Structure 1
Amino acid sequence: MKLFVNNLTQVDLSYFDAQRGLLGESWQTDVVLTGKLNDESMICDFSIVKKQIKKWLDEHIDHMLAIPVNHPNAHLTDMTQGRVSFQFDHDDGSRFRCDAPVQAICALPMENITPQTAASWVESQILDLLPAELEAVSIRFTPENIEGAQYQYSHGLKKHAGNCQRIAHGHRSTIKIYSDGQQDSELENQWAQRWHDIYLGTEDDLLGIIEEHGHHYHHFGYVSQQGFFELTINSQQVYMLNGDTTVESLSAHIAQTLAEENPGKHIEVHAFEGIGKGAISEKTFLKDVDA
């Protein structure tokens, strides 16, 4: 017998891809449990098992930076006082580096991270933690099926009390933009291109811009409740903002920017943060006059 639950939870994280670099991602999580019926004609108490699986995902992969430690260009170094350092050296001589508290890094024993390989790793980790009567557990991570414009961004919210404070976690999101009340796919696609595989940085957290061997990097760092976070990333993958990168601020920034670029148009932005949630902002600029 098998017991299933679709969309048990949503996992928002960033992971490192050898070709594309740092990528924000959002995965719907589906679970299938296999076992024999007990005296209550049940495989298990699913309400308990669901909580156990969600708790494990929250603690071991959600809102973390997942790294492919078996890739030959990946280097993970233990630091003092519960900290780790991850560096990836690209073939073109450029590099990526993140130093963070150990709970912010998910080290996956593989060369390349995909939803399927990550799900297989989770299965191998959690079966022994679940009730003994279960014979198998199947995890499926599924990116949202987005038909229109989408972008993948990573960021950190140092003021957040929870795990959003981690400097490299992210989301894969759709965006809806309306111009004078009509959905505008051209503006949606333009913005998706601006934020293609992007890191959203803030001026307050920028420690400096580094040049090494012809490559330019943005160097970010901040202290939050979980500790000191530091990130060095290729400048071409960075989009800078003046304020915090909450979804409320992001929707307001997009609306403000597009209204300035399209004077006389009423711009309404539905900016998503992962799957099924987000913020709405509206803005209009009259020609030569802020409305």
Structure 2
Amino acid sequence: MQLFVNDLTVIDFSYCCEQRGIVGESWIVDVLLEGELNEMSMVLDFGVVKKQIKAIIDEAVDHKLLLPMHSSMISVEKSTTQEDSEYVDVVSERGSYFLQSPTQAFAKLPTNKIDIASVTDFLLKIIKAELPDNVSGLTIVLREEVIDTDYYHYTHGLKLHDGNCQRIAHGHRSKIQLFKNDQRDFSLEKMWCDRWADIYIASEGDRIEKSDIQLSNSAQTQLTDKHEYFSYFAPQGRFDIAVPSNVLDVVDCDSTVELLADFICRQLKKSQPNDTIKVIAYEGVQKGAIAYD
């Protein structure tokens, strides 16, 4: 007997890529279970699937930075300044990123590349260990949202959030809808998606001096005049990141989807003051905010 749950959850995370750097991503999760019926004539209670398996997936990868530990681009070591924290150095073709975060903000995968196949294998091993004996088979399908227009990948962190959104390097794959004078403008959408392709979005209020950043000794020797520095304290601990300016957009607000929608609206209004602007900004899949002027 098989039991399926489509759209069980959406995992929003970022991952390290040798070519693209740190990339924000959103994947939809479908689950298929196979096994004998239990004493309740079920393979597994839907409530257990939706709650327990979703919780396992969320704890493993959601709102984390996924690290391919077999890749030479990654270096991880224990922080010497913050308890239960780690330094992570990421050297990619687009530039070098350096971080310090609580250990729970990272997911370490035994692979040289983060992709759907490697993350699926990682999750299968974790979830199978928690399933009851009557469940003999497990299939997980990770898939992108089908988007027939332009979209962008972004990474950020929310210092005021008391949940996992506070982690300084998690992200999303997001579409956007932009309207000028009540007409959808696909050229504006493409322009903005090009601007935020594989971007790190930082808040100006989180900027710090190079002398105040907490990074690994190795990172300190690799910093250049192209790096910019951001840090904050949140409920989970202290977060630091050094980001090269070519993959960075610094906004004058926090990076919640509400304020990003407003930021986009304000930027477009500056260049087109006589037009009415409406922004529908998404944060991952099927959620977002609307701003207009």
State the TM-score, normalizing by the size of structure 2.
0.91
Cα RMSD for the two superposed structures? 1.8
Unmatched runs of 5 consecutive residues or more in structure 2? 211-219
Residues of 1 paired with 2:49 and 2:30: CA distance? 13
Residues of 2 paired with 1:213 and 1:125: CA distance? 37
Q: Name the residue aligned to 1:88.
A: 90
**Residue 212 of structure 1, CA deviation:** 5.5
Say whether the 8 Å CA contact 1:68–1:112 is kept in structure 2.
yes
Q: Name the residue aligned to 1:152.
A: 153
**Residue 58 of structure 1, CA deviation:** 1.9
Q: Name the residue aligned to 1:128.
A: 129
**Residue 56 of structure 1, CA deviation:** 1.0
Letter of the 2:60 partner, please give it. H
More moved, 201-210 vs 174-183: 201-210
Q: Name the residue aligned to 2:174.
A: 173
**Residue 38 of structure 1, CA deviation:** 3.1
Say whether the 8 Å CA contact 1:26–1:275 is kept in structure 2.
yes
1:22 counterpart = 2:22: yes
Residues of 2 paired with 1:90 and 1:250: CA distance? 27
1:277 counterpart = 2:287: yes
Q: Name the residue aligned to 2:263.
A: 253
Say whether the 8 Å CA contact 2:20–2:93 is kept in structure 1.
no
Say whether the 8 Å CA contact 2:21–2:93 is kept in structure 1.
no
Residues of 1 paired with 2:263 and 2:223: CA distance? 34
Residues of 2 paired with 1:128 and 1:234: CA distance? 40
Percent identity between matched residues is 38
- Taking the TM superposition and a 5 Å limit, the aligned residue runs for 1:117-266 are 117-208=118-209, 216-266=226-276
**Residue 88 of structure 1, CA deviation:** 2.1
Q: Name the residue aligned to 1:288.
A: none
Decide whether aligned partners of structure 1 residues 212 and 51 sit closer, same or farther in structure 2, where only a CA change above 3 A counts: closer
**Residue 214 of structure 1, CA deviation:** 6.0
**1:242-261 CA deviation, whole Å, 9 max, x = no partner?**
11001110001111111111
Say whether the 8 Å CA contact 1:211–1:217 is kept in structure 2.
no
**1:13-41 CA deviation, whole Å, 9 max, x = no partner?**
11111110011111111001111223443
Letter of the 2:89 partner, please give it. Q
Q: Name the residue aligned to 1:287.
A: none
Residues of 2 paired with 1:86 and 1:19: CA distance? 17
Say whether the 8 Å CA contact 1:167–1:231 is kept in structure 2.
yes
Say whether the 8 Å CA contact 2:69–2:111 is kept in structure 1.
yes
Residues of 1 paired with 2:153 and 2:65: CA distance? 14
**Residue 131 of structure 1, CA deviation:** 1.2
Say whether the 8 Å CA contact 2:154–2:172 is kept in structure 1.
yes
Say whether the 8 Å CA contact 2:16–2:22 is kept in structure 1.
yes
**1:199-246 CA deviation, whole Å, 9 max, x = no partner?**
111111111369958661111111111100011121100001111001
Runs of 4+ that moved beyond 4 A: 209-215
Greater share of strand:
1
**Residue 125 of structure 1, CA deviation:** 1.2
Q: Name the residue aligned to 2:50.
A: 50
More moved, 130-139 vs 35-44: 35-44
**1:140-169 CA deviation, whole Å, 9 max, x = no partner?**
111111110101111111011111111011
Say whether the 8 Å CA contact 1:116–1:140 is kept in structure 2.
no
More moved, 18-27 vs 37-46: 37-46
**1:87-129 CA deviation, whole Å, 9 max, x = no partner?**
123468x522111101111111111101221011100111011
**Residue 59 of structure 1, CA deviation:** 1.5
Q: Secondary structure at the match of 2:209?
A: strand
Decide whether aligned partners of structure 1 residues 124 and 144 sit closer, same or farther in structure 2, where only a CA change above 3 A counts: same
Unmatched runs of 5 consecutive residues or more in structure 1? 284-291
Decide whether aligned partners of structure 1 residues 213 and 220 sit closer, same or farther in structure 2, where only a CA change above 3 A counts: closer
Decide whether aligned partners of structure 1 residues 269 and 41 sit closer, same or farther in structure 2, where only a CA change above 3 A counts: same
